[in-house]
Amino acid sequence: MGYFHAQNVEKTQYGVETVPPEKLAERAIDVWRRREDLDLDRLIIHFMQPHAPFRTRPEWFEKVIGESSWSANVWKRLGSGEFPEKEVWEAYGDNLSWVMEDGVSSIISNCDGQIAMTADHGNAKGEWGFYGHPLGCPVSAVRQVPWKTVKGTDEMSIQPKTKSASERVDLDDQLHALGYK
């Protein structure tokens, strides 16, 4: 198993800094096609989406002084009633559609083999006063995640244009751009 990452955090057409799912899918497809040379038999591909930031609501993700991250900020604002629930879940749903259409479906149609799809967590929607996925959250919606397997077939419909593996990215800069620092 190997660890590779998309090498460019970029601003989407909506002004949100994130790794677009198509960039990560391209990188994964490139690595998977070179798996024998890289001595790999599996990959774990972790898309940012449907996590915040939400591409359709970039104005929600301006850094707030004292907040641990802008990602936590949206859930706090939802919980306080500052952000309308319907709008938050519509934006979240758009991010989910984005990753499924531009990321997951590309991998399924460009990588041979068994593909397992899951999530690192779910999100609370107000149960017991929790929103999002705070540490130690006892809500089952956060802890129960989907698991689905599908058969991938490389139709060669995507020809990745990835950067050289020798190019380095500053991990601290990338984590900051993604809202983790």
d(CA 90, CA 86): 6
> Are 29 and 106 in contact, with CB atoms under 8 Å apart?
yes
> Are 141 and 123 in contact, with CB atoms under 8 Å apart?
yes
Per-residue pLDDT of the chain (181 residues; tens, 9 = 90+): 444 444 556 666 666 678 899 999 999 999 999 999 989 999 889 998 998 889 898 888 765 544 555 555 788 889 889 899 999 999 999 999 999 999 999 999 999 999 999 988 888 888 998 988 888 889 999 998 889 999 999 999 999 986 555 445 566 776 666 666 6
Residues in the chain: 181
Residue for token pair 């077939």: 153
Tokens found for residue 105:
């479906």
Listed by start position, the domains of the chain span 10-174
At residue 10, the pLDDT reads 64
At residue 132, the pLDDT reads 86
H-helix or E-strand containing 117? strand 113-118
